[in-house]
Amino acid sequence: MREIVLDTETTGFDPETGDRIVEIGALELMNHMPTGRTFHVYINPERSMPEDAFKVHGLGDDFLRDKPVFAKVAQDFVDFIGDARLVIHNASFDMKFLNFELGKLGYARMPMDRALDTVMVARRKFPGSPASLDALCRRFGIDNSGRTLHGALLDSELLAEVYLELIGGRQPDFGLSAEPAAPVRTDAAVPADAAWRPRPRPVPLAPRITEEEAAAHKAFVAGLGDGALWLRE
C-alpha cells in the first residue's frame, strides 16, 4: 500500500480570502515503510507574507520572491502523489488549500475521504489529550528538537513517525532494512510502484557476540547431550 505523508505552509488560514501555499513537503511510505522518496518545494505566493504567518514558518518575501508559482509545480506534485492515500495532520486545512490551487488550474479536486487525518486518529486514541504534532512527538518519544519553526518537509518526516506509532507502533526495521532512494526532484514525475519491497542490507551487520560468550554457549550446549536443538542440521 502506497501512502504519502504531507504538509503545507501557507500565508494564512483561508485561500478564499487571498491566502496561498508557500511550501509543500511530502514523503512516500510503502507498506508503512519509508522509501526515501520525497517531494519538497517552496512556492512564490504572489503576495506579501503577513507577519503572523512569518513567525510560524520563517518564510519571508525576499526568500520566496524567486521561487516558482504553484502553476509551475502543480503537475510534478500531482505526479508524485499519484492515487496514494494522503496522511495529513489537520487534513481539512491542507486539503482546502491544495484543492483551491488545483481547482484554479483545472485539475480534479481531491475528495476529503482520500486523506487520513492524524489529528482525528490521535483524538480517538487519546481522548482529552493534546493532539498537536509536538504533543504527539513528546508522547511517543520522537525527537523534534530541530523543529524551532514549522517546515513542511520536516513536519512530514515527524508526522510519518507519529503516524506509525498511532496505527500500532513503528516497524522493527523502520528505515533500516533498505537503502533510501534518492529524493525525488520536483521537476520529474515519480511513478508509483506498488511492488516496491525493501532490499536486503548490502553489508551484513557485524556479530556482537564476544569470543567468551561464544565459548560459554558452546560449553552449555555440550552439556545438553546429543539431542540438543543447536546440534540439529
- The pLDDT score that the predictor gives to residue 15 is 97
Distance CA 30, CA 36 (A): 10
- The pLDDT score that the predictor gives to residue 198 is 57
Mean predicted confidence (pLDDT) in 44-71: 96
Query: From the candidates 40, 57, 89, 150, which is the catalytic residue?
Result: 150
Q: Is the pLDDT of residue 64 over 50?
A: yes
Residue 209 contacts by C-beta under 8 Å, 6 or more apart in sequence? Answer: 217
Mean predicted confidence (pLDDT) in 105-109: 96
Q: Which residue has the cell 504538509?
A: 7
Residues in the chain: 233
Domain boundaries of the chain, sorted by first residue: 2-200
- The pLDDT score that the predictor gives to residue 232 is 61
Q: Is the pLDDT of residue 147 over 90?
A: no
**Higher pLDDT, residue 72 or 228:** 72
Could you confirm whether 150 is annotated as catalytic? Answer: yes
- The pLDDT score that the predictor gives to residue 219 is 78
Res. 218 pLDDT band, cuts 50 70 90 = confident
Distance CA 113, CA 24 (A): 20
Q: Which fold has domain 2-200?
A: Nucleotidyltransferase; domain 5 (3.30.420)
Is residue 112 helix, strand or coil? helix
pLDDT digits (tens, 9 = 90+) for 161-197: 999 999 986 554 444 434 444 444 444 444 444 455 5
Q: In what order do the strands lie in the sheet with 85-88?
A: 33-42, 21-30, 2-10, 85-88, 115-117
Q: How far is CA 182 from the centre of its chain?
A: 15
- The pLDDT score that the predictor gives to residue 144 is 85
pLDDT digits (tens, 9 = 90+) for 11-35: 999 999 999 999 999 999 999 999 9
Poorest-pLDDT segment among 86-100, 115-129, 210-224: 210-224
Distance CA 64, CA 10 (A): 12
Cα–Cα nearest to 117, from 133, 140, 100, 101: 133
- The pLDDT score that the predictor gives to residue 185 is 44
- The pLDDT score that the predictor gives to residue 63 is 96
